[in-house]
Chains A and B, each alone.
Chain A
Amino acid sequence: MIFKISTPLPKDIPLELPLPEWLLVTLLVVSFLAHIVFINLMLGGSILTLWAQIKGLKNKDYDSYAHEIAKTITVNKSMAVVLGVAPLLSINTLYTVYFYSANALTGFAWIMIIPLVTIAFLLTYLHKYTWHSLESAKRIHISIMAVAVGIFLIIPLIFLTNVNLMMFPEKWGTVKGFMDALTLPNVFPRYFEFLGACLTITGIFTVGYSNRKNYKIEKIYKTFTRYTLKKLGYKVAFVGVGLQLFFGIIVLFTLPAKGLGFDVLGSMLSAGVVLFFVAFYIWKSMIAEESKIDAHYKKIIIFILTFLLIYGGSRQMYRHNALHPHQKLMAYKTKEFQKLSEDARLHPVLETVAIDTTLGEYAIGSSLFKKNCSSCHKEKEKLVGPPMTEMVTIYKNNPEGLKKWINAPGKKRPDYPQMPGFASLSDEDLSELAKYILSIQK
Chain B
Amino acid sequence: MFHLDWLNNRFLIAVIAILHVLINHGLAVGFIPYITWLEYKGLKKSTSDQITDLKWDHFVYKKMKVAFIITTTIGAMTGVGIWFSASLVSPSSIASLIRVFYWAWFIEWLVFVTEVVLILIYFLTWKSSNNSLSAKMRHIRFGWFLAIFSWITMAIIVAILGFMMDPGNWNNHHSLLNGFTNPIYLPQLMFRTPTAMLVAGVFGMLLGTIFGVKDKELRKRSVKYSAIWIFIWAPISLIGAVIYWNVLPEAMVENMSTAVGTMQFQEYYDVLRWVILIAISFVLVIAGIGIMRPGKVKMWMVIIPCFFVFGFLGIFERVREFIRKPYVIGGYMYSNLLREEDYPLYKKEGILKHATYASTHEVTDANKIQAGRDVFMLTCSRCHTTKGINSITYVFERMYGEGKPLDIASVAGYIPNMHVGRTYMPPFPGNEKELDALAHFIKSLQTTGESLEGVQTKGLQVNSINSVEEFNK
Main secondary structure of the interface of B (DSSP, over half): helix
**Segment at the interface with B among A92-100, A215-223, A254-262, A287-295:** A92-100
User: Is A310 in contact with chain B by the CB < 8 A criterion?
Assistant: no
Assuming the A-B contacts A7-B462, A8-B462, are A114 and B81 also in contact, with contact meaning beta carbons closer than 8 angstroms in the complex?
Answer: yes
**Segment at the interface with B among A134-142, A245-253, A301-309, A345-353:** A345-353
Contact A82–B76 (Cβ < 8 Å): yes
The CA of A352 and the CA of B413, in the complex, are separated in Å by: 12
Contact A85–B88 (Cβ < 8 Å): no
Contacts of B455 in A (CB 8 A): 104-105, 107
Contacts of B414 in A (CB 8 A): 375-376
Contacts of A118 in B (CB 8 A): 73-74, 77-78
Contacts of A96 in B (CB 8 A): 91, 95, 98-99
**B131: shortest Cβ distance to chain A, in Å?**
14
User: Is B148 in contact with chain A by the CB < 8 A criterion?
Assistant: no
Contact A344–B102 (Cβ < 8 Å): no
Per-residue interface assignment for chain B, residues 88 to 111, with 1 indicating a CB less than 8 Å from any chain A CB and 0 otherwise: 100110111011111101100100
Contact B345–A9 (Cβ < 8 Å): no
Contact A341–B91 (Cβ < 8 Å): no
User: Is B40 in contact with chain A by the CB < 8 A criterion?
Assistant: no
User: Is A175 in contact with chain B by the CB < 8 A criterion?
Assistant: yes
Contact B345–A88 (Cβ < 8 Å): no
Interface size range of chain B in the complex: 35 or more
User: Is A62 in contact with chain B by the CB < 8 A criterion?
Assistant: no
The CA of A187 and the CA of B85, in the complex, are separated in Å by: 24
Per-residue interface assignment for chain B, residues 325 to 348, with 1 indicating a CB less than 8 Å from any chain A CB and 0 otherwise: 000000000000000011011011
The CA of A407 and the CA of B324, in the complex, are separated in Å by: 23
Residue of A nearest to B454 (CB): A107
User: Is A78 in contact with chain B by the CB < 8 A criterion?
Assistant: yes
Contact partner of B99 among A13, A75, A329, A333, CB < 8 A?
Answer: A13
- Select the residue from A7, A9, A74, A172 with max chain B CB neighbours within 10 A: A9
**Segment at the interface with A among B26-34, B243-251, B360-368, B463-471:** B463-471
**A69: shortest Cβ distance to chain B, in Å?**
16
Contact A417–B399 (Cβ < 8 Å): yes
Per-residue interface assignment for chain A, residues 324 to 351, with 1 indicating a CB less than 8 Å from any chain B CB and 0 otherwise: 0010010011000100110111001100
Main secondary structure of the interface of A (DSSP, over half): helix
Q: Would you list which residues of chain A between 117 and 139 have a CB under 8 Å from chain B?
A: 117-118, 121-122, 125
Q: What number of residue pairs across chains A and B have CB atoms under 8 A from each other?
A: 243
Q: Would you list which residues of chain A between 359 and 409 have a CB under 8 Å from chain B?
A: 370-372, 374-376, 383-384, 408
User: Is B129 in contact with chain A by the CB < 8 A criterion?
Assistant: no
User: Is B185 in contact with chain A by the CB < 8 A criterion?
Assistant: no
Contacts of A375 in B (CB 8 A): 410, 413-414, 417-418
**Segment at the interface with B among A49-57, A420-428, A434-442:** A420-428
Contacts of B152 in A (CB 8 A): none
The CA of A324 and the CA of B78, in the complex, are separated in Å by: 33
Q: Which 6 A-B pairs have the closest CB atoms?
A: A107-B456, A375-B414, A6-B467, A344-B345, A18-B102, A176-B459
Q: List 30 A-B contacts (CB under 8 A).
A: A7-B462, A9-B466, A10-B466, A18-B100, A18-B103, A82-B76, A92-B94, A96-B95, A96-B98, A96-B99, A97-B95, A99-B87, A103-B2, A114-B78, A114-B81, A121-B72, A125-B69, A177-B457, A177-B459, A332-B471, A337-B354, A352-B432, A375-B418, A376-B414, A384-B400, A417-B399, A420-B260, A420-B263, A422-B258, A423-B260
State the A residues within 8 Å of B (CB). 5-11, 13, 15-19, 74-75, 77-79, 81-86, 88-89, 92-93, 96-97, 99-100, 103-108, 110-111, 113-115, 117-118, 121-122, 125, 169-170, 172-178, 180, 326, 329, 332-333, 337, 340-341, 343-345, 348-349, 352, 370-372, 374-376, 383-384, 408, 417-424
